[in-house]
Structures are given as structure tokens and as C-alpha cells.
């Protein structure tokens, strides 16, 4: 069943509902980024509300990526979201200030 409502800019509520439905937990949100439990992947909300980028952690299990991508893409369509894999990211600890650095790789 497709939900026929316009998608708002930065559709965090829709993404949270979608993730919970698929059994994933949203652990943190920062600006346009949505972090998912265990950091295997994250989602980035794009300029158009319906466009969401999927990025995999470089340390995630490569064999599971295609299945996750297909699962998210199909479920996203039901909520008028276009979820597209856009590459990978690497997460490293910052200096002494406790920050986290993300490097995106296409």
C-alpha cells in the first residue's frame, strides 16, 4: 500500500517509521543525517524531501549491503521515498573533544 501524501523537506518522521517497520532502530539524527543502530549504514535526507541517500559504513558486511539496499528501496516506495545507494562512509573519532568525523566516499 502506497501512502499518497506529499513528502516534507527532511522527512524524519517518515524515515523513523520506515526503519522501525523494517526492524532497524534510529539512534541519532544530526542535521540531514540519520544514524541507524550498529552504524552499518546511515541515511542522508537530500534537498527534495522524497530523495534519501543510503550510505554504507566501509566496515559493514559487504555481503549484506545489496539485501539492505533492496529492502529499503522497496519499503521507501510505499512512503513515496526514493532511497538510493550513494556509496560509503568512514567514521573516525575526532581529536580530544569527543567528536566523530565522517568521510563520504562515492
Asked if residue 19 has pLDDT above 80, the reply is yes
pLDDT at 99: 82
Please give the model's pTM, rounded to 2 decimal places.
0.87
Yes or no: domain 12-105 corresponds to CATH 3.30.70: yes
For the chain, which residues make up each domain, given as ranges? Answer: 12-105
Grouping H, G, I as helix, E, B as strand and the rest as coil, residue 49 is coil
In Å, what is the CA distance from 35 to each residue of 2, 16, 28, 45, 54? 25, 10, 5, 11, 11
The upper half-sphere exposure of residue 61, i.e. CA atoms within 13 Å in the direction of its Cβ, equals 5
Helix then strand count (H, E) for the chain reads: 2, 6
- Measured torsion, CA atoms of residues 12, 39, 86, 43, in degrees rounded to the nearest 10: 0
What are the tens digits of pLDDT across the range 26-69?
Answer: 999 999 999 999 889 999 999 988 999 999 999 999 999 999 99
What average pLDDT does this structure show over 91-103? 81
Amino acid at each position: 500500500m502506497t501512502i499518497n501524501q506529499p513528502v516534507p523537506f527532511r522527512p524524519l518522521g517518515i524515515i523513523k517509521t520506515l526503519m522501525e517497520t523494517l526492524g532497524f532502530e534510529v539512534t541519532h539524527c544530526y542535521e540531514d543525517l540519520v544514524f541507524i543502530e550498529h552504524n552499518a549504514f546511515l541515511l542522508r535526507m537530500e534537498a527534495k524531501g522524497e530523495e534519501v541517500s543510503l550510505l554504507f559504513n566501509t566496515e559493514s558486511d559487504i555481503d549484506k549491503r545489496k539485501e539492505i539496499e533492496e529492502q529499503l528501496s522497496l519499503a521507501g516506495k510505499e512512503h513515496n521515498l526514493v532511497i538510493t545507494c550513494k556509496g560509503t562512509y568512514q567514521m573516525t573519532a575526532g581529536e580530544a573533544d569527543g567528536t566523530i568525523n565522517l568521510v563520504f566516499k562515492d
